[in-house]
Structure 1
Amino acid sequence: MNWIINRDENWYLGGESGSGKSVLLTAIADKDKKTEIQVNVLNKSKLKPVCLYISQWYQFKNLEGVANFYYQQRYNKQQLKDTLTVGQELALYGKENQLDFTELDQILIALNFSSFKDAQLIELSSGEHKKLQLIKAIWLKPQLLLLDQPYTGLDINSRTNLNILLDYLASQGVRFVIACSEHELPKCINKYACIENGQIKELNGVLPVVRTIPLITKVPSFLQQTPKPNADVMVKMVNVNISYGDKQVIKNLNWEVKAGEKWLLQGHNGSGKSTLLSLVNGDHPQSYANELYLFGSKRGSGESIWDIKSHIGLISPELHWYFDKEASVWQSIASGFFDSVGLFNNLGYHKTQQVNELLDYFGLTEDKNELLVNLSLGKQRLALLARTLIKNPELLVLDEPCQGLDEQQTAHFNQLIDGICSTERTLIYVSHNQQQLPQKLTHRLVLNQGEVIENSTYNLEKELA
């Protein structure tokens, strides 16, 4: 590969999921380079003489310096004092890098993050973690900033404001490479390229991804058999309230999801979507203190968390982040039968065939024995989407399911969701992107600061029109 980034250029970098975008950006930023990559910085500049890479995931540690977190930890108030607060994290970062603290408040306001200063890092959702990554990068003002999927998990307003901030940084001399599948880029982007077969291909503009491998469109046979709903009302919440100390994240919420309904759940970052879904999934301990009904039974009436999860197929950014990446692709998918993080049971013939069908559908057959951690994030997400579907659940809870996927993979997955969402299967789908939704959504719930501001029927075609 040959690539030259000149000092007056800001690049968009595209390509299929797994084409090597993250690998390339990591190599450019790697301080212990073993490749012939040269990054030249100006010593006489107001900008930091560094090349900074912002990865797709935000990595943080607890107060003991380790990152051994578990999926439900952010909902357990007994565990919330295990990490720094956002304010403490930013204070340390600013001190280490000798940054101007008067600039920080402006960045926090622009990304609507001022109210999170006292929040523990473990409390933040994936979108909020992404904002914290971006705030630190913008505050630092490096000479070269490499952004890997910077819009992932951000609400519409935050995406718009991020582009404004990036344009401002560009006017100050910061240069960018932005790897993403978005088309609404900052105005400062003036060069376009994609990675094809391990090579840089310069483009005239942002173009759709053209895949070289045909995707299977036939719905796997076992998913064509819609499971019978266990109850007429799958989820019912009556005046639900969730608080952490003085902070109330869900306020007097009423919501009913009937069998066969397909809900779009939306709201800005920090509006309470993840907390609401944790009640549906049985993961939130405060569900026992509220009037909550799941699959026809009141929460706390003798059912176990495994009874609840047996009805649900779940994917979320947090589940992906905490998942056992040392499991193989095959084991990761098969673990969905048992709602475990990793596979600890043997499968019979029919369940094995179901795993193989989904491997074929998602194009993962050749990767089935690879460790999940060794795959691109896009392929990791495909494996976990297959895990979500493997037991053919009556309720699908899909929280930003297409994060990390390219446009073709996103369309492929949503086509499958439309194909299996008959009149009896129930769906809760979370996405900030109106252009990346399945067609069969019937209702929408919108949250703002933990309160319902819209509960209505929904038609995607009318919305886009």
Structure 2
Amino acid sequence: MIQPVVHITKLNLKYRHKPVLEDLCWTINRGENWLLCGASGTGKTSLAKAIAGLTHSYGNIAISFDPESSLPAMVYYVANWFQFKDLEGQSNFYYQQRYNKQAVETTATVQVELESFGKKYGLELNTAEGILTALGFSGLKNATLIQLSSGEHKKLQLVKALWLKPQLLILDLPYNGLDTLSRQNLNTLLEEITESGTQLILISNEPDLPVCIDRIAVIEAGKLVEISADQRNQNEPEHLMKPVPAFLSDVPVPFSSEQVVKMVDVNIRYGDKQVLKNINWEVKAGEKWVLHGHNGSGKSTLLSLICGDHPQAYANDFHLFGNKRGSGESIWEIKERIGLISPELHWYFDPSATVWQSIVSGFYNSSGLYCDPGYTKKAQADELIHYFGLEEYKDTLMNELPLGKQRLALLARTIVKNPELLILDEPCQGLDQQQTRHFNKLVDDLCKNGTTLIYVGHFEAQVPECIEKRILLENGEVKSVKTIAQKTYTN
């Protein structure tokens, strides 16, 4: 007789009084490894948290662990976001705080975090070395948690889970923020732990998955529906593109300089660690760039210089919009001309703001809204809410939205002021495939008006067609700069 590990019957869950899961039934038998995929906002994360006992639901969830297994008899859930605290137990960090020396000194290192996790679960640190090496994380043991990029935080979560090897492991969007090699190595590691007895529930819409995945399901109308691999690979019908709001069709404010970014032998160092080395890069007005590089290559640090967040900009030969940094401009004058979205900005964004407030805050480069924006700005925010299909969420708090809807609201915030320079750092994290295609078409349309673009994306499908130039970082140095004719990205 086949032994079910998870048996769910008539599971019901509501979100803000709206049904998400309705009489859902699901049986996971021993030895099965499932992929849970499909559109953003259908309830995949809610279901995962219910199985892990992290959210309240109605119905029956029975979990039967194998008493003969040497693996921990537990469900271990890895969320898309990693929430950490400083040494004083505080977690209310702000976006620029990762460059603050005092914040670095009051935040635990990766080594301390791993030692604490190992002590909690009775694990020897040396048994994690192979995982750390495979995910390219060995050199970060002395880094503090606040210094890690989003991809590095994702790796830290995955290291813990793979090290623990629970009987049931649930990974929510595990590939977000990972470069190509890290994704390949992660799949190999997942295949290894399933061979040792761990069972997987993988929440993802990515095409490349570990070969151990043998069952696939989606959530439709609150119920779980098993599908075949062929059904998963079928292209979804495209929604008709709405016309771009008229105010975004205008040419951005006249360029004050033909040169948007100029870096000459730029170096960034933290103590003995050099993060950027002799960077030379010039971005001219109207150009469309993609920035590539593996996790830890220096991409986030490079972007922080351009956005005015990194204090070491003043110690380098670095120009923005034709002006040398430190020549009298304020950080807010710089940010007025830039539209930014990044995993880090999303991470630190005020979750208590509503969708509408979050979008309007883009005019002021603030996390949340603290003033009356006036008629014109209100009208433009409303246009974007309609464009992104967020009407029913207009007055919903950001932290009450599914991840994909949060990201759409922040994308609207990024473009609401029709900025001179768009910096899109993995903007499609958390979006489903249709939302990703839709957003990249929007980027292509926006860039027809002369907007300058710097785009970071690991996945080929997440790079818009308008990209014309590519810069590749490797270990903090520029490995290549070239003009490109088509999308052939694999980094």
Bin of the TM-score, shorter chain as denominator length = over 0.9
The one-letter code matched in structure 2 to 1:19 is T
Q: Is the 8 A contact 1:220 1:358 kept in 2?
A: yes
Normalised by the length of structure 1, the TM-score is 0.97
Q: Which residue number in structure 2 is paired with residue 55 of structure 1?
A: 79
Say which of 263, 273, 276 aligns to 1:237. Answer: 263
Cα distance in 2, alignment partners of residues 146 and 462 from structure 1: 32
Q: CA deviation at 1:230?
A: 2.6
Q: CA deviation at 1:208?
A: 4.8
The one-letter code matched in structure 2 to 1:42 is D
Cα distance in 2, alignment partners of residues 57 and 31 from structure 1: 14
Q: Report which structure shows greater RCO (CA 8 Å, sep ≥6).
A: 1
Q: Which residue number in structure 1 is paired with residue 20 of structure 2?
A: none
**1:228-274 deviation line (CA, Å, top 9, x unaligned):** 22310001011111111101101010110000100100100000000
Say which of 406, 426, 431 aligns to 1:405. Answer: 431
- Structure 2 gaps of 5+ residues are 1-23
Cα distance in 2, alignment partners of residues 119 and 209 from structure 1: 43
In the TM superposition, structure 1's runs of 4+ consecutive aligned residues that sit over 3 Å from their partners are: 31-35, 208-216, 461-464
Q: Is the 8 A contact 1:395 1:427 kept in 2?
A: yes
Q: Which residue number in structure 2 is paired with residue 73 of structure 1?
A: 97
- Structure 1 gaps of 5+ residues are none
Say which of 222, 225, 250 aligns to 1:225. Answer: 250
Q: CA deviation at 1:212?
A: 8.8
Say which of 114, 119, 133 aligns to 1:95. Answer: 119
**1:386-422 deviation line (CA, Å, top 9, x unaligned):** 0000000010000000000000000000000001102
Q: Which residue number in structure 2 is paired with residue 64 of structure 1?
A: 88
CA RMSD of aligned residues (A): 1.5
Q: Which residue number in structure 1 is paired with residue 169 of structure 2?
A: 145
Cα distance in 2, alignment partners of residues 93 and 122 from structure 1: 18
For this pair of structures, how many residues does the alignment match?
464
Q: Is the 8 A contact 1:14 1:193 kept in 2?
A: yes
Q: Is the 8 A contact 1:52 1:142 kept in 2?
A: yes
Q: Which residue number in structure 2 is paired with residue 188 of structure 1?
A: 212
Matched ranges for 1:45-444 at <5 A: 45-205=69-229, 207-208=232-233, 214=239, 216-227=241-252, 228-422=254-448, 424-444=450-470
Q: CA deviation at 1:159?
A: 0.1
Q: Which residue number in structure 1 is paired with residue 12 of structure 2?
A: none
Normalised by the length of structure 2, the TM-score is 0.92
Cα distance in 2, alignment partners of residues 163 and 261 from structure 1: 36
Q: CA deviation at 1:366?
A: 1.1
The one-letter code matched in structure 2 to 1:359 is I
Q: Is the 8 A contact 2:46 2:55 kept in 1?
A: no
| Closer, same or farther: CA 310–94 of 1 in aligned 2, 3 Å | same
Aligned to 2:113, the other structure's residue is in SS state helix
Q: Is the 8 A contact 2:250 2:449 kept in 1?
A: no
Cα distance in 2, alignment partners of residues 234 and 299 from structure 1: 12
Q: Which residue number in structure 1 is paired with residue 33 of structure 2?
A: 10
Q: Is the 8 A contact 1:16 1:211 kept in 2?
A: no
Q: CA deviation at 1:34?
A: 4.8
Moved more, 58-67 or 418-427: 418-427
Q: Is the 8 A contact 2:244 2:445 kept in 1?
A: yes
